[in-house]
Structures are given as structure tokens and as C-alpha cells.
Homo-oligomer: A and B are copies of this chain.
Amino acid sequence: MPLRVPAAEDERFMREALRLGEKAALVDSTGGPFGCVIVKGGKIIAAGSNQVVKRKDPTWHGEMEAIRAAAKARQTFDLSGCTLYTTSEPCPMCAGAIFWARIDRVVYASTIADALRYGQFDDQPIYEDLAKPIAERLTPAVQCLREEMLELWRRYEAKADRIRY
């Protein structure tokens, strides 16, 4: 069972995530102070840091980079057995990615409230928005051509060799 309390090795790995966050924000100026490492079997298998500004990519959060790198390194979309260390509580995008990657455990340093206070990074409204049905969210969303998509779904359902994931 993944630990719901801090483990002896957590501080060591978090310090590496902090080092990456510091480098991103204060040395290389690639983005905010967000660093991330992914650990399996007591070893770091992948790392990432925020590069939204440098890469001009709104999805380049440390967690996303680390998850993609870990999946590539292990050649699997299933990162069961891994712990993700991140300098700040994950945003909904990264929390969703952590879920899809089947990460076992998350260790974080600062909270969403800390990130708002010190960095004006405001994740809370996004979390609140995503808790609503899509039709009630801030970004206007409309449905279109559902019947054509259902036909594609039926053909996908009937595909004998589809790989479930």
C-alpha cells in the first residue's frame, strides 16, 4: 500500500525537485519554481521542471514533463509503483495526468494557496470550474455531431484488436 504519511526517503527526493524548481525559476528563468522527480524502487527514473515561458507551451509543467519522460524511459503508459515528487500541489491538468499514468503516490511541498500567495498562480478557480458539468464552465462549450461520433464509437467497440488502456 502506498504510504499516506511521509517516508524516510521523501525529503531526499523532494530536495531534488526543489533544486529543479529553483533552477527553472531563478537560474534558467524557464518558468515558475516548479520541479518534479518520479521515483521507482528508490531511484529517480525521470525529472521535469516548469518551462511554460521558455518553451511558450502552456502545458509544460514539471509534472507533465516528468510523466512523459518516465513513460518514455520505461516504454509504458502505466507508471504503477512510482511516486511523484513535486514542489507544489498539482494543478488539475497535472492531477489528471497523474491519474492516467496510474502513479501510486504524490508528495508535494507547497499548497495551491501558497502558489497563489507568492506567485499569483491561481489553480483554485480551475478546480472549482472543472467540478461543474461542461455546459456550466467558464469556457463556453457546445456539442456538435454527436451521432457521427457515436457511429465511430460503435466501429471502435467492434474492433477486435483494440488495446485497452
> Which residue of chain B has the shortest Cβ distance to A155 in the bound complex?
B26
Chain B residues near A115 (CB, 8 Å)? Answer: 153
State the number of copies, please: 2
Do the beta carbons of B156 and A26 come within 8 Å of each other? yes
State the Cβ distance, A37 to closest chain B Cβ, in Å: 12
State the Cβ distance, A104 to closest chain B Cβ, in Å: 7
Chain B residues near A100 (CB, 8 Å)? Answer: 58-59, 91, 93, 126
Task: Please report the C-alpha to C-alpha distance between residue A89 and residue B141 in the assembled complex, in whole angstroms.
Answer: 9
Task: Please report the C-alpha to C-alpha distance between residue A108 and residue B4 in the assembled complex, in whole angstroms.
Answer: 38
A36 proximal to B (CB < 8 A): no
Q: Annotate A133-144 by CB proximity to B: 1 below 8 A, 0 otherwise.
A: 010011111111
Given contacts A91-B100, A127-B131, A154-B118, whether A144 and B109 have CB atoms under 8 Å apart is: yes
A56's partner among B14, B33, B58, B77 (CB-CB below 8 A) is B77
- Name the interface size band of chain A: 35 or more
Measured CB to CB, the residues of A under 8 A from B are 2-6, 10-11, 14-15, 18, 21-22, 25-26, 29, 31-33, 52-53, 55-59, 64, 67-68, 71-72, 75-79, 85, 87-111, 114-115, 117-120, 126-127, 129-131, 134, 137-146, 148-150, 152-157, 159, 161-165
19 new A-B contacts, CB < 8 A, other than A59-B100, A85-B144, A94-B96, are A10-B144, A25-B152, A26-B159, A31-B165, A57-B68, A58-B78, A59-B97, A89-B134, A93-B93, A93-B100, A95-B134, A99-B130, A103-B139, A105-B140, A106-B139, A109-B143, A114-B150, A114-B153, A118-B154
